[in-house]
């Protein structure tokens, strides 16, 4: 999490006219995205598969004052039909959506490629890839020209990690999905990704001071939405220093060495 000095140095854009859906918003990285977008004044909708996850998430963000523009929707969004139906319901109940940030999936590591069982392959590659694809498929036709579809990816999308073959393949595939979607929408809306190093979250047992934070990830996603020229780009932030450069490139300009930590 940011220190008070870091938090004060961050400049949040005004997105009161935006409505963002944060897919994976109840997750560790998703929490920071939700927090950041709420600080912009945007309307934020978070889908979740279970009411229990929503209840736990509400407890985790109990310190936030700006929750009057936060909504939750329970439903399945990791299948084609489920994602389509949930998108229909969100628009019907909460209004048109301008932006979607997909922070889906998690980390897996520990086996050589030849030792990976089918069950783990299916869970971390098939299921995660399908969820991302289903959400892009459901939301892309609905987004306005000034809107964004954003993917939150890890460094495994561009760098091979021994004993993490499933994640490497999944993330690399999702990075290519971003690029294909950019080519296919051809300016109908914007498509962008963030490629991230380790992220500080509340569940981390060990934290390196040079890691970026989940709210910085969220601020970058808000900054991307706020800039009409942010399109067809993969913003790489391997650590806090690179995230600072990303934020500066988006015109958010944290000032002073305390912003880097």
Residue 260 domain-assigned (yes or no): no
pLDDT computed for residue 65 by the predictor: 83
How confident is the prediction for the chain on average, in pLDDT? Answer: 93
User: Is residue 180 included in any domain, yes or no?
Assistant: yes
Answer whether residue 82 shows pLDDT above 70. Answer: yes
Q: Is 54 in contact with 48 (CB distance < 8 Å)?
A: yes
Rounded Cα–Cα distance for residues 260 and 112 (Å): 36
> Which pLDDT tens digit goes with each residue over 9-28?
779 999 999 999 999 999 99
| Residue 100: φ, ψ to 5° | -130, 130
Among the listed residues 253, 208, 201, 258, the one whose alpha carbon sits nearest the alpha carbon of residue 226:
253
For 177-213, write each residue's pLDDT tens digit. 999 999 999 999 999 999 999 999 988 888 999 999 9
Count of domains in the chain?
1
Q: Identify whether the C-beta of residue 107 lies closer than 8 Å to the C-beta of residue 101.
A: no
- Distance between CA atoms of residues 44 and 34, nearest Å: 7
According to DSSP, the β-strands at 19-23 and 99-102 are parallel
Please say if the pLDDT value at position 255 is more than 70. Answer: no
Domain annotation covers residue 256: no
pLDDT tens across 118-129, in order?
999 999 999 999
Residue 35 CA to residue 44 CA, distance in Å, equals 10
Asked whether the predicted pLDDT for residue 54 surpasses 80, the reply is yes
User: pLDDT grade, residue 5 (50/70/90)?
Assistant: very low
Residue 130 lies in a domain: yes
Q: What is the torsional sign of CA 76, 82, 85, 88? A: positive
Q: List pLDDT tens digits, range 227-240.
A: 999 999 999 999 99
Asked, for residue 235, whether it belongs to a domain, the answer is: yes
261 located within any domain: no
Task: Tell me which residue range forms the domain holding 203.
Answer: 4-251
Q: What is the CATH number of the domain that holds 227?
A: 3.40.50.720
Going by C-beta distance under 8 Å and a sequence separation of 6 or more, which residues neighbour residue 61?
31, 34, 35, 67
């Amino acid at each position: 999490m940011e220190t008070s000095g870091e938090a004060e140095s961050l400049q949040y854009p005004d997105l009161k006219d935006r409505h963002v859906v944060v897919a994976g918003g109840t997750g560790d990285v998703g929490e920071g995205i939700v927090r950041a977008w709420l600080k912009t004044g945007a309307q934020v909708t978070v889908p979740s598969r279970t009411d229990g996850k929503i209840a736990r998430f509400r407890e985790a963000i109990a310190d936030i004052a700006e929750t009057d523009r936060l909504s939750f929707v329970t439903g399945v969004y990791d299948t084609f039909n489920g994602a389509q139906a949930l998108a229909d319901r969100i628009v019907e109940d909460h209004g048109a959506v301008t932006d979607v940030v997909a922070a889906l999936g998690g980390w897996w590591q520990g086996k050589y490629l030849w030792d990976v069982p089918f069950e783990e392959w299916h869970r971390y590659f098939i299921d995660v890839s399908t969820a991302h694809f289903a959400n892009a498929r459901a939301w892309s036709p609905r987004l306005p020209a000034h809107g964004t579809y954003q993917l939150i990816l890890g460094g495994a999308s561009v760098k091979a990690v021994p004993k993490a073959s499933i994640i490497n393949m999944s993330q690399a595939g999702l990075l290519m999905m971003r690029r294909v979607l950019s080519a296919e929408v051809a300016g109908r809306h914007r498509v962008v990704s963030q490629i991230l190093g380790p992220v500080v979250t509340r569940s981390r047992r060990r934290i390196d001071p040079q890691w970026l934070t989940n709210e910085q990830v969220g601020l970058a996603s808000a900054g991307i939405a706020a800039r009409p020229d942010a399109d067809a780009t993969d913003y790489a932030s391997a650590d806090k220093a690179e995230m600072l450069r990303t934020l500066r490139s988006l015109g958010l300009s944290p000032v002073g060495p305390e912003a880097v930590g």
